[in-house]
Structure 1
């Protein structure tokens, strides 16, 4: 539930529901095949005592599946003989299993009929992703299941309505475990490895405790001389950080992605017969060898060039190091909430009210938190706002870096939205939202996966001073935050709401970079440690914003500031000046766009049928606000992503809203990027965009060329991007004038005459810090409940990460 004061069973009874990462049998074989688990205590923080409540005007029809609903769907699917499903706990690579169960959002037409009028509440439907391994050509497939709760009238069928692939199927080429192929090959050349990588490898145990072997994502496809498709995997050696003994146990700092060893192996893993898999070649020092014997022979030659080993050490640790800064050990400034919480929550419906904003919150396995039915001053301005996909596209002189283009919804943002740390990730007074997800027939819950809090921006939203008065208004914002650690990167997602009607979407990135070996990589990054190069990469995170400005009939306009040479009646000759040109984006044929040079275009979604009293169409402007806003992929026609990256080629897009175009991507596109389940480019089919229901898709991100300051971790300071959605001729004046949190001081000749505080209350008295303190020993991990067979009475602690 939303308050973390609930008991463990209550926490699991009706929490937000979201699926988890793929089961181990379909994870990338080389990507940490043995995920670590740790049992953790529950979190006992109580944030409920000062939490005002409200009642949502309508049920949250986007609310995630409950534990009971997920169990109901899973049990129903297992009862269908034609699916031939095996319980995940008992399954192997040759079985059919359920990967993920999540809510299928209702069609917008049905949702608006209910939310805006007297229409019936839409039926709830689930989308179930299943892996069919009991075939020579395994595949993943999305199925629609419902209505739920399950009855005799419930049905199931492939989700063809929302995909571009026949029968909503996508081939899976790495369902079988190839890791033993990697390790067997490594042991064949252990003498070479021991010398070049400064290791002592004699057997499987030595190898497994020293190195992980993993590589490209997604897999490559090549055509052989006979025209047959071959599935290719390139993998590299990554050193496992050493184990350090702590006061109460041990720790491995998670710096494996800083420890590439510069040795790579290429394999053909076509088909399911492991006897036909084989080593194609070995790469070291930019030299390619077609066999272990050829590599060993070259190594023995006196002319063979050896490179500096990339070894672990304190340099990968994130603990405090170096000389203590002056006064830095003193407690720093902190935020308090002297009057208690100033927003209201309907816990059951995940509905929030703050000042003139209201919205519903939900959470998905693939993309984490999303917002629906965002209203300002009682009018819906946005139907849906949420992340669609996050690409991290690398480049380098070695095949692993060149072949890595993560599409992170494959791993999922929901599963790794771990508990936030009070006082660090969020203010101590933040309101906690627990989140859950259903995958691999287990439901897991993150305690405090989302935080909601109000804060002072430490700058005013308005000020003006003259020789006789000064007027200042506090800058206050409401933040909805989630943090997901997807592998090596920690993504901080914020939605900020401001007093002037503005909404800002922000993403920040920290964590460990995925680096490259330094040898011959100068063209792709800086030499940042003894054997290390920063591996250049682009982050492109795509968001969907479905605007409804005073209704669903909207138009995207561009008000362009252009230089002009112009004659005026009041001037003799011409003047070099500028003017504004109004343009409309009339068709999806023109729906792929980049931000203009010098930011000379104002991009606005307006309702032409709803002008203000001065005849100007009312609307919301969208514009980059910080960091790498608007970044899209540098690489064109990506060899890795093929037909799966259409949403990342431009800064922003506009399409006509269609219920069949729910997502810009699909988590399973990673399996076969040439033949994706969702191909964003196919959204653009020439539809009219003038006074239609419009959806904008924008990218946030950054071009990241890591430098020494990224060691051991990238910092949020510069690794961030933001987009502002702000009223534009929407109201007749600045709505922040409604705020009481302002002051006007009248003065003359150095003496204050009048002070106006507009009935705002100034905090008085003393702050009892014990009331907002937090005990770090209560920090907890995930709680899990098995779904098949359903066992809701026996939850257990279970936290699992990718690395």
Structure 2
């Protein structure tokens, strides 16, 4: 869950020489904006650097140094350098028309910089560079300004550049409104509904706490606490996201929650069942309107009506949800037999079997190679993915994540989080070695530009090989058995957005397939149980698991043997057919129906019933030696869902991408993203309305983009307490070669065995030239290495002061 507040944008650059750091594991929920809250993130420029493999003392098997290589091209998606980000910031402060204030000095009526990050170059320019020996595309900064020094505050996207490697190009650098990537043509501007919404600002000090004070006697009687904005508050108040935006009005619903009593992030498990509605249109609190209370299934239009009912004999007072061990993630209960013994651990006897250019963020594993990008809104993305030297995907990465709730109360009913508003990039915290990833993995850093400073998160990406618990291939006969190890390569990050931890894994396999997987853990946003039986299970004393859909959208820009591709559809269908050999008798059987997605009028699709429909991206101009079109098949692996809610009242036009499973459009440089981070600020007329991408264009042998949804229909149960677990909350899809090669490419691996046998004896063991790597194992508990988990390292960027770093760790707000 997230708090609908002015959570500021962050921008990213990628860099190879950052100081290592990690976040303090304090509560990180965006709704904790009272005494324990820290100021919201203001602006970030992202960098990336190589960390080190986990190094356990005297354990030689942990020495896992990757091979260092040089990328064949410049990483044009790698982000702004340290110097570039600092110079853009300095240049922006020198432009009088922006009237900017340094973040540390800014209030709710000042203009500030929210985002400074690299603007990804257009695909047409990049392909000219990669494939045609053209020039490296000019570099520009994508900047978002927060204009609050006005009665109608707004965000403004602008483009700044060109930028040279040493920073701003004096005399030639200009800024212009950034409009071309958006369907809404308002010079890159969208209103800011949260300009006064921080805990210390007008919304709380002059509105929320004043409303709460009018019933402080009731809250004391019900729960023994108050929410008045004081250090000794025992209650918190936060509400829906996005705000209701119907009929030209801005309406919010807020609810009371118990505060946590220790360091555990349990507040989303502690609803109290009391809600109030207010109209907060405009910036003048004197014009705002309180519109009523909702409690135990009844709505009271005034505080007087609620108070009168409350003090009437027989009024039903509902119990509180109170924190306890049931909500904490530490070990409780009897220890499971043998569980104190160390579990199995993996090693890399020959060291890392992949290669990395840390400066250019280019990675090679077996026959795969790709560049890494990282952005504020969506975190990790992969670019120019090649297999056996040929590009199969130009871009693969997250676009948006939606968590749409439902319930009998107005808060659950009114909540539909669009998580790119908060950003996946800034909350990709340090990974825990041996738990999030194998201890032997190669760990990489991400850094972000915030409040004229640069923070670095240590070890927030990991790269590793892993051998699955099942083989890739096997076959037995009466005289031999053949088995191939299933070893794959993964790049992974975890982003903690509010109460949920999202684990993103991109994995590559010996057979040429690529898997994308998302897992979700963390604290659920729960509902108060009263009257909520149709929307969730009762999971604790006064607690309901609030039903919700997680839908995450990914962009897959395929280039199969060139940019001109087609989507093929193959359906397995039941038929009754006669054959020349059936003597006129019909046979009940099945066959294939083949077709193509020809235009955008028919390109918004669902996975077929019984998993009988296959979609693939092919090139009709490229056939294998048997005359079949070469391509890649797209398959759901688990949890490939779309949004259950139809025409959402909360979202209107802000998430039209969520309504189907798989959608295909013609590639345009003007349509790089399915969503905008501020779509929730104007849901009826958002910066990007995905519906506008579909205008009937021809999709036959042209440059195509697939927009794929995955996720979970989540109905929390008692097993989600205290946290949802990764083992059940996961979803994914895979891309696999379809007639792309003349056979199974995994036959090239030597990591297979054939055992010839007969008569009770083995006559031969063929290992195909495997090297028997070895290492000395002296096992040490991985926890020994976890004491290096640190806070952020900060370097000031305005004024630029790279020689005086300091430690400071901020929570998510």
TM-score, normalized by length of structure 2?
0.91
Question: SS state of the match for residue 428, structure 1?
Answer: coil
Do the aligned partners of residues 604 and 202 (structure 1) sit closer, same or farther apart at CA in structure 2, a change above 3 Å counting?
closer
The aligned counterpart of 1:93 is 108
Q: Is the deviation greater in 483-492 or in 77-86?
A: 77-86
Asked whether 1:688 is paired with 2:712, we answer no
Do the aligned partners of residues 315 and 578 (structure 1) sit closer, same or farther apart at CA in structure 2, a change above 3 Å counting?
same
Deviations 1:413-464 (A, max 9, x none): 0111000000101111110110122344332221111000001111100000
The aligned counterpart of 1:624 is 636
The aligned counterpart of 1:35 is 37
Alignment partner for residue 215 of structure 1, among 239, 242, 257?
239
The aligned counterpart of 1:661 is 671
Question: SS state of the match for residue 360, structure 1?
Answer: strand
The aligned counterpart of 2:155 is 140
Do the aligned partners of residues 12 and 680 (structure 1) sit closer, same or farther apart at CA in structure 2, a change above 3 Å counting?
closer
Do the aligned partners of residues 515 and 487 (structure 1) sit closer, same or farther apart at CA in structure 2, a change above 3 Å counting?
same
Q: Superposed, which structure 2 residues align to 1:591-740 within 5 Å?
A: 591-626=603-638, 628=639, 630-740=640-750
Deviations 1:480-499 (A, max 9, x none): 00000000000000000000
RMSD: 2.2
**Offset of 1:115 from its aligned partner?**
1.0
Mapped to 2, the partners of 1:696 and 1:204 lie a distance apart of 48
The aligned counterpart of 1:340 is 351
The aligned counterpart of 1:61 is 76
Q: Is the deviation greater in 693-702 or in 668-677?
A: 668-677
Mapped to 1, the partners of 2:781 and 2:368 lie a distance apart of 29
Unaligned runs of 5+ in 2: 1-13, 24-28, 41-49, 56-62
Question: SS state of the match for residue 276, structure 2?
Answer: strand
The aligned counterpart of 2:7 is none
Mapped to 2, the partners of 1:356 and 1:16 lie a distance apart of 32
The aligned counterpart of 2:499 is 488
Q: Superposed, which structure 2 residues align to 1:535-550 within 5 Å?
A: 535-550=546-561
Q: Superposed, which structure 2 residues align to 1:415-564 within 5 Å?
A: 415-564=426-575
2:225–2:233 contact (8 Å) kept in structure 1: no
The aligned counterpart of 1:249 is none
Do the aligned partners of residues 773 and 538 (structure 1) sit closer, same or farther apart at CA in structure 2, a change above 3 Å counting?
closer
The aligned counterpart of 2:249 is 230
Q: Superposed, which structure 2 residues align to 1:120-199 within 5 Å?
A: 120-149=135-164, 150-151=168-169, 152-165=171-184, 166-176=186-196, 177=201, 178-180=203-205, 181-196=207-222, 198-199=223-224
Mapped to 1, the partners of 2:623 and 2:447 lie a distance apart of 43
Alignment partner for residue 336 of structure 2, among 325, 343, 351?
325
Q: Superposed, which structure 2 residues align to 1:251-290 within 5 Å?
A: 252-290=263-301
Mapped to 1, the partners of 2:609 and 2:19 lie a distance apart of 43
TM-score, normalized by length of structure 1?
0.92
**Offset of 1:15 from its aligned partner?**
4.9
1:416–1:801 contact (8 Å) kept in structure 2: no
Do the aligned partners of residues 385 and 33 (structure 1) sit closer, same or farther apart at CA in structure 2, a change above 3 Å counting?
farther
1:368–1:414 contact (8 Å) kept in structure 2: yes
Q: Is the deviation greater in 601-610 or in 300-309?
A: 300-309
The aligned counterpart of 1:582 is 594
Mapped to 1, the partners of 2:586 and 2:189 lie a distance apart of 64
Mapped to 2, the partners of 1:656 and 1:722 lie a distance apart of 24
The aligned counterpart of 1:4 is none
1:419–1:781 contact (8 Å) kept in structure 2: no
Do the aligned partners of residues 15 and 596 (structure 1) sit closer, same or farther apart at CA in structure 2, a change above 3 Å counting?
farther
The aligned counterpart of 2:260 is 241
Mapped to 1, the partners of 2:483 and 2:620 lie a distance apart of 35
Q: What is the total number of aligned residue pairs between the two structures?
A: 766
Question: SS state of the match for residue 800, structure 1?
Answer: coil
Do the aligned partners of residues 765 and 434 (structure 1) sit closer, same or farther apart at CA in structure 2, a change above 3 Å counting?
closer
2:30–2:498 contact (8 Å) kept in structure 1: no
1:606–1:617 contact (8 Å) kept in structure 2: yes
The aligned counterpart of 1:6 is none
Q: Is the deviation greater in 232-241 or in 440-449?
A: 440-449
The aligned counterpart of 1:77 is 92
Mapped to 1, the partners of 2:451 and 2:494 lie a distance apart of 22
**Offset of 1:72 from its aligned partner?**
1.3
Unaligned runs of 5+ in 1: 1-10, 21-26, 224-228, 244-251
Q: Is the deviation greater in 411-420 or in 307-316?
A: 307-316
1:29–1:179 contact (8 Å) kept in structure 2: no
1:16–1:363 contact (8 Å) kept in structure 2: no
**Offset of 1:802 from its aligned partner?**
3.2
2:662–2:707 contact (8 Å) kept in structure 1: yes
**Offset of 1:788 from its aligned partner?**
2.4
Do the aligned partners of residues 414 and 654 (structure 1) sit closer, same or farther apart at CA in structure 2, a change above 3 Å counting?
same
Mapped to 1, the partners of 2:609 and 2:342 lie a distance apart of 45
Q: Is the deviation greater in 776-785 or in 72-81?
A: 776-785
Mapped to 2, the partners of 1:345 and 1:770 lie a distance apart of 28
Do the aligned partners of residues 460 and 353 (structure 1) sit closer, same or farther apart at CA in structure 2, a change above 3 Å counting?
same
**Offset of 1:189 from its aligned partner?**
0.9
**Offset of 1:784 from its aligned partner?**
2.6
Deviations 1:68-102 (A, max 9, x none): 11111111111111111111121111111110111
1:30–1:235 contact (8 Å) kept in structure 2: no
Mapped to 2, the partners of 1:191 and 1:530 lie a distance apart of 24
Do the aligned partners of residues 416 and 290 (structure 1) sit closer, same or farther apart at CA in structure 2, a change above 3 Å counting?
same
**Offset of 1:33 from its aligned partner?**
8.0
Mapped to 1, the partners of 2:224 and 2:799 lie a distance apart of 45
**Offset of 1:52 from its aligned partner?**
1.1
**Offset of 1:241 from its aligned partner?**
1.3
Deviations 1:249-305 (A, max 9, x none): xxx110100001101111121111122223211111121112222211111001311
The aligned counterpart of 1:246 is none
Mapped to 1, the partners of 2:97 and 2:490 lie a distance apart of 47
Mapped to 1, the partners of 2:146 and 2:775 lie a distance apart of 61
Mapped to 2, the partners of 1:474 and 1:212 lie a distance apart of 53
